[in-house]
Each structure stands twice: as structure tokens, then as C-alpha cells.
Amino acid sequence: MAEIVIMVTGSSGMVGHGIQLALEEDKKPNEKWIFLSSKDADLRDREATKLLFEKYKPTHVVHLAAKVGGLFNNMEYNCDFYTVNNQMNSVVLDLCKECKVQKAVSSLSTCIFPDKITYPIDETMLHNGPPHFSNYGYSYAKRMIDVNNYVYNDQYGCQFTSIIPCNVFGPHDNFNLTEGHMMAALIHKAYLAERDDQPFVIWGTGKPLRQFIYSVDLGRLIIWVLREYPEIEPIILAVDEEDEISIRDVGELVIKAFGYKGEIVHDISKSDGQFKKTASNAKLRKYLPDFKFTSTKQAIEETVDWFRKNYETARK
């Protein structure tokens, strides 16, 4: 069987580690996986990135590298989120074309869908209106990946596709209290609340709703998309709609995982961001009707356990 070389950009992050953990029980003898981080090259630099393609000669690319952040980080740096991601994505996908990569899988996000939309969201709605104001920079850069996938296929026959994960969390996330996503930030806050006997503060009202996918489950699904998914159109990788959960309920699962019995405080001076972005995984279920997601409760417990053991070295 022909060897395939899979180059994963942005693999030192949370989702990249999810793939590596998932591969531990799903290796194939003819697959050679190359895991890259920004230390290998700044993917905004075409010449440096071209050297990586020449060195590894990938037949497949999983493009995860991105400037990524939570609501509050996005609100403050929309220009950076747009320019950095747009530069990286253009360089990587054009080199995939130039180096005749057989298949490329990039990542979008359910937060980039139109803000005014009907629910549940599905893959056909991606460009049906402007995204939420809080992260329009990131959203438009990510939507251009989808446009790139179609124009490279139309003109060059490239097989480029993308995944649309809901909110992801897990080991190796960015636990920084202001830059990070909510789940990672709440885990860090609960750690400090327990250690320093201080209140556990949830920003906003706690009423917004989110779907959460565990990074290891997402890793399993990305491996499947790379190996089996045949379409150019993106595919939503989200837990079932009925597993959508409020921020407040997530906070309660987090402090329960720590055994913290102290006070929960809501800082309503902070924004709630999007109220909901309920996404349908019907397309995924059509392909993988029996896929089993890790429960959010169990995934939180495993991530809290990881964070306690790795507090000194975790990104925070």
C-alpha cells in the first residue's frame, strides 16, 4: 500500500494533541504523520513554509495552525485575528496546490456562522450573512478558507476541504484567564478559587448556550475526515444538539470536578457574546451514525485532572 505523508500544521496546540492522542489507538502502517508548530516555520512566511513542504513532501495536509482565542481576546484584536489567519491560510493552501498535495483538511469554527440565523445551523448557511461582531476578523479569515477550497478545486482540481468544530476543550488548551476560551479559563479560575479559597467568577450572565466537543473526540473525527470524507463542502463536527449546555451549568460541572464548595459569582459587567450557535451534526451522523462522543462531564473531569498534574507547564 502506498505510503502517505500527513503534515499537521499547528499541532503543538490543543486540537493537535487531540489528534496525537487519538492516533495512539488508530495507527496505520502506511501513514507517516509529521507534527509541526511555529518553531518549524512561521506559516505567514511563504519561503520558510515552502522549505517545510520540500523537506517533508506531504501527500496530505491537516491545517490547524491559527491565531486562536476566546471571546474577549477576539473582541480586542479583530484586525490581528483577520490578518494573521488570512496570511497563514493563503500561504498553506497555495503551497498545497503548488506541491500537489492530494488532500488538505483545514479548520473553521461554528462561531463564524452568520449571527442572524435560524437554528439548527447547517453547513449550507456559512455565507448567509455577517458573523457576530465580537469575532468578525477571525470569522471572515476562516470563511475565506472555504472560498479557497472551492476556487482551487474549480481551477486546479484540488481536493481541499474543511471541518467546522463547535467549542473544543481538553489537555494542552490555552488556560490564560483573558486570552483563553471559556472552558479553559473556568478550569483555571476553579483551580485558583480552590487553592486560594476565593470566589469562582463566571463572566457574563452564564445564560448563553454552547456545544462542547472533547479534543480527543475531535482528533478521532479529523483522522476520519482525512482518510474518508470525500466532499469539498465543509462538515460540522459537533456533539448532538441536545447536548448543548449553558455556561452556568458548565461552571457547575467544573467546580464539581474540583470538589470546590465555595461561592459562584457572576460578573455581569463582562459580555455574554453570542447567545447560542446551535449547530446540527446531521451530516456527520449520516456518515458516522454510531460515533460515540465523550460526555462533557467526563471530558471536564479528565481535563481538570490533566490541568492539576500539569499546572506548572500548562499555557496560562
Which residues of the shown chain bind ligand GFB in the complex (CB under 6 A)?
Answer: 70-72, 74, 109, 111, 134-135, 138, 167, 181-182, 185-186, 202-204, 208, 210, 247, 270-274
CB of 238 to ligand GFB, least distance (A): 11
| Residue 237 interface partner, choices ligand GFB, ligand NAP, none, CB cut-off 5-8 Å depending on type | none
d(CA 177, CA 189): 7
Strands 209-210 and 245-246 come out as antiparallel
Q: Which three cell numbers stand for residue 76?
A: 480586542
b/e per residue 278-305 (b: at least 16 CB within 10 A): bbbbebbeeeeeeeebbebeebbbbbbe
Residue 283's binding partner, choosing from ligand NAP, ligand GFB, none, with beta-carbon cut-off 5 to 8 A by kind? none
Residues noted as catalytic: 138
Number of residues located near ligand NAP, criterion CB under 6 A: 26
From 217, 189, 196, select the one nearest 304 (Cα to Cα). Answer: 189
- State which residue, 61 or 168, has the beta carbon closest to ligand NAP: 168
Q: Which residues contact 257 (CB under 8 A, 6 or more apart)?
A: 190, 300, 301, 304
SS3 of 297, please? helix
Q: Which of 6, 7, 15, 104 binds ligand NAP (CB under 6 A)?
A: 15
162 contact, one of ligand NAP, ligand GFB, none, CB 5-8 Å limit per kind: none
Which of ligand GFB, ligand NAP, none does 186 bind, CB closer than 5 to 8 A by kind?
A: ligand GFB
Query: Nearer Cβ to ligand NAP, position 14 or 254?
Result: 14
Residue span binding ligand NAP (CB under 6 A) among the ranges 31-39, 93-101, 121-129, 296-304: 31-39
- Is residue 181 close enough to count as binding ligand NAP by CB under 6 A? yes
3-class DSSP assignment, residue 179: coil
Q: Which residues contact 204 (CB under 8 A, 6 or more apart)?
A: 247, 266, 267, 268, 270, 271, 272, 273
